[in-house]
Amino acid sequence: MGSLTNWVRAGLLLVLASCTHVPIIDGSMSSLMANDTTAIIQIDGPGCVSDPKVGWAYCRKAEGAITNRDVITFYGPKSNCSREFCVDIQVMWPTGEPALHISIPADQLSVSTSWDRLTKKELFDKNDRGWWLVFINHYWLDGSGVEQETVQEGEIRLRVMAEGYTPLYNAPTSGAFAYVAERNGHEFKWTTSGRAYTK
């Protein structure tokens, strides 16, 4: 009976060890200390750069547009930690006030929200514009089982355009362009009011 118990214990330890990922320690300066933005952010919706980006996301919205249509996704690594959630996200208003705190579940790679949860309103207005700071706190266990913390910073740039304004960044055939140029395979167009297009 004793040898069976030892085999069961050894099997359990082997299973637990295979589930525990010990990360490779990056000995360079942290991204936060280096003043780099490395949070991975994605915003799917009209007027937004929709691919996941390291450090930033960008959206152009019209004043009066509905805020709950876009999906804002924050990514963080799956890891082992001594907490319920190993990745916490804090989003700050452009004024520096906290706007939202959410966490990524331990078995997930990301968590999503929408602008209505950030702005606390149904429609965009010009006061929503600015740099929304993102802080991602990642907790993880080192090879000795001691919990460590990594902080990543990111930025969401929100531009809210005045009601009645029509941007031309998606309108290459508009008759309003007064100036057209090409360089290195790119096309550039401008109007006399400052609207522009490039491809």
Per-residue pLDDT of the chain in tens (199 residues, 90 and over written 9): 555 454 444 443 333 344 556 778 887 888 888 888 899 999 999 989 889 999 999 999 999 999 999 999 999 999 889 899 999 999 999 999 999 999 998 889 999 999 999 999 999 998 889 999 999 999 999 999 999 999 999 999 999 999 888 888 878 889 999 999 999 999 999 999 998 999 8
Per-residue pLDDT, 13: 35
CA distance 114 to 44: 10
Q: Are residues 115 and 28 in the same domain?
A: yes
For residue 157, tell me if it sits in a domain: yes
Q: Are residues 43 and 68 in the same domain?
A: yes
In a 10 Å sphere around its CB, with 0-12 CB exposed, 13-18 middle and 19+ buried, how is residue 102 labelled? middle
CA distance 35 to 147: 24
Q: Are residues 61 and 72 in the same domain?
A: yes
Phi/psi of residue 131, nearest 5 degrees: -95, 115
- Domain span at residue 199 reads 166-199
Length of the chain as a residue count: 199
Q: Are residues 187 and 159 in the same domain?
A: no
Taking the model in full, what pTM does it have? 0.81
Q: Are residues 192 and 111 in the same domain?
A: no
Contact in structure between 178 and 172 (CB atoms under 8 Å)? no
Q: Are residues 51 and 113 in the same domain?
A: yes
Per-residue pLDDT, 20: 59
Q: Are residues 82 and 179 in the same domain?
A: no
For residue 4, tell me if it sits in a domain: no
Per-residue pLDDT, 9: 45
Q: Dihedral angle at the C-alpha atoms of 137, 142, 147, 150, nearest 10 degrees?
A: -20
